[in-house]
Amino acid sequence: MTHATSLYHDSLVWDMVFIYEPEMGNATNLFDRYREAGVHFISVHPAGDRHNTGEAVHRIARARTQIKEHPRAMLVESVDDILAAKSEGKLAVGLHLEGFRPLERDLNLVELFYQLGVRFVHPIFNLVNSYGGGCADRIDIGLTQLGVKLVHEMNRVGMLVDGSHAGYRATLDMMEVSHAPVIFSHLGCYAIRPHIRNVRDDQIRACAKNGGVIGITGGGFYLGAIDTETYFRHLDHVVQMVGPAHVGVGLDYLADVAPLQAFIEARPDEWPGKAQGAWEPMAFFSPEQLPELANLMVKQGYADDIVRGILGGNWMRICRQTWK
């Protein structure tokens, strides 16, 4: 066993974003793949800006039941739960939302969703909503007044604020008004791959100054390719700019790309740029490539504690700091 292999198996491996879409074939059926790849924690998103309050609650309830029924998974709500699942050889699974339309503008529901197990949310998904501007809209309005109140309420209950899918100005507003670190759970670096979803250098600096963590996605259309070297380039860009404490893994992996292709084609306003190749290559960096990533980090001279931090320690630190 090489040093990199041993280091990987000794680390807490944490993937901040798992696409939970049973209708697309992405659900508990993939959990064993993640366990076999050495992953210890994933966060799944059963609902978001396509769902109202009732729909979101039903989808969260379905996800909770399916997770708890899986014999080698554990539904978790705290960092200690994650560590307990790891010690039992089970995959720890948490919950988050992709967009906060399910609030229906009622901030009293933020605490309710937290009680249902939702531990982070990106309030805005691509298009402008009640809380602010999205990355795919023509005008970036930043956060609305209600959006600022939402960030503060998320701070109060211990729910992480995620800038993924939000517009440029909205993310800067989030980091300015938040009383807790703001994360980017899954994206790439704009300096390497110019894309509406990718984070620019000043956003990276602001995130680090705020104490946040940037999760590197596995989407080939965000990275430019899905080989391990390309993934590392995005990761290393953040490391070289703000240090290794502010980067982690957020793969957003999808096993079958055909449903996503159809989804994007059906929503050109929400997912613009198809004709210009914005959604190519339609492929994903897989959980099985994570050991290769650890090996590459070691070859590039990353110290053991830095590798452990990027694989999961940085996410664990920020979640222990924020969740209540």
Residue 1 confidence (pLDDT): 77
CA distance 166 to 129: 10
User: pLDDT, tens digit, for every residue of 147-205?
Assistant: 999 999 999 999 999 999 999 999 999 999 999 999 999 999 999 999 999 999 999 99
pLDDT in tens, 65-86: 999 999 999 999 999 999 999 9
Structure confidence at residue 304 as a pLDDT band (50, 70, 90): very high
- At residue 107 the predicted structure's pLDDT band, cuts being 50, 70 and 90, is very high
Mean of pLDDT values over 125-138: 96
What pTM does this model have?
Answer: 0.97
Note whether 131 and 165 are within 8 A (CB).
Answer: no
Q: What is the structure's pLDDT at 293?
A: 98
Is the pLDDT assigned to residue 59 strictly greater than 90? yes
Query: In CATH, what is the architecture of 3-322?
Result: Alpha-Beta Barrel (3.20)
What totals of helices (H) and strands (E) does the chain contain, helices first?
14, 9
Domain-by-domain residue ranges, the chain?
3-322
Is the pLDDT assigned to residue 247 strictly greater than 80?
Answer: yes
pLDDT of residue 152: 98
One-letter amino acid at 29 equals: N
